[in-house]
Amino acid sequence: MTLAAAAFGALLATLSACGTATSGPAPARSGHGAQGPLGRTPTVSSAPSTDPTRIPGVGDHLYRRIPAGSRQVVAVYGEDDDSAESRLVLYTRRASAWRPAGSWPAHNGRGGWTTEHHEGDERSPTGVFTLTDAGGVLPDPGTRLPYDQDEDAYAPPAEWDEAHQHDFDYVIAIDYNRLKGTPPRDATRPRGRSKGGGIWLHMDHGSGTSACVSVSKEAMEYLLRTLDPAREPVVVMGDRATLRA
């Protein structure tokens, strides 16, 4: 399907930070799968953290930014500040204890991580961000998040290479420089365009993104079916050293 010129321009602006190829095809690597069958809780380590009232590997600086009412945290642990390799772990809180509920390989910005993200730097922003809105090319898989399904609005441009053609089948907007309560494709940037935006959780194509975080289709479906606005889900993301600080 093709987009009208105006809609196509808005799409490119909205997706500027997502997993697009900047030049040439993506590396010929298969995407990562979830650590368990679809529809069942993925296998995770049952070993308790040193302090079950804290998110493992997250230091005071970022932990204090997690809302007091949040009972779901998506933690993205980057391998290094200049690496595109990471791991995504979903934690849920019961009473005062955080427990892992799923773990998957992931990718972040191909340039790594930054605490001062700018448009086009190809680095994912480090920090704590709410997760309030979802959407994609495919129909709602059964999420409690507001879901915006639109085959045209989320379809990658035809000139993108084949590896990226399913990136936006499912997306969850990361609330960095965007208006909460609007579809992920909304291109409004409250802090200005130079600060970037359009940063999502989306489907993996086997390599780094332009600033988004990507995981397998199975992982996206599990997250969409599990995240609940009533539990105030947030994402805590960055390279491991910065997360620990």
DSSP 218: H
Q: How far apart are CA 215 and CA 211, in angstroms?
A: 13
Would you put residue 220 in left (φ > 0), alpha (ψ -120 to 50) or beta? Answer: alpha
pLDDT tens for 11-61 read: 444 555 564 433 333 333 223 333 333 344 454 443 444 789 999 999 999
Residues in the chain where the model's pLDDT stays below 50: 1-13, 19-41, 43-49
Q: How far apart are CA 41 and CA 172, in angstroms?
A: 19
The predicted model scores a pTM of 0.83
**Residue pointed to by tokens 């308790």:** 48
Count of beta carbons in the 10 Å neighbourhood of residue 26 = 18
pLDDT at 17: 57
Q: List the one residue out of 1, 38, 54 whose CA is nearest residue 218.
A: 38
Tokens matching residue 225: 């079916």
Q: How big, in percent rounded to 5, are the helix, strand and coil portions of the chain?
A: 15, 25, 60
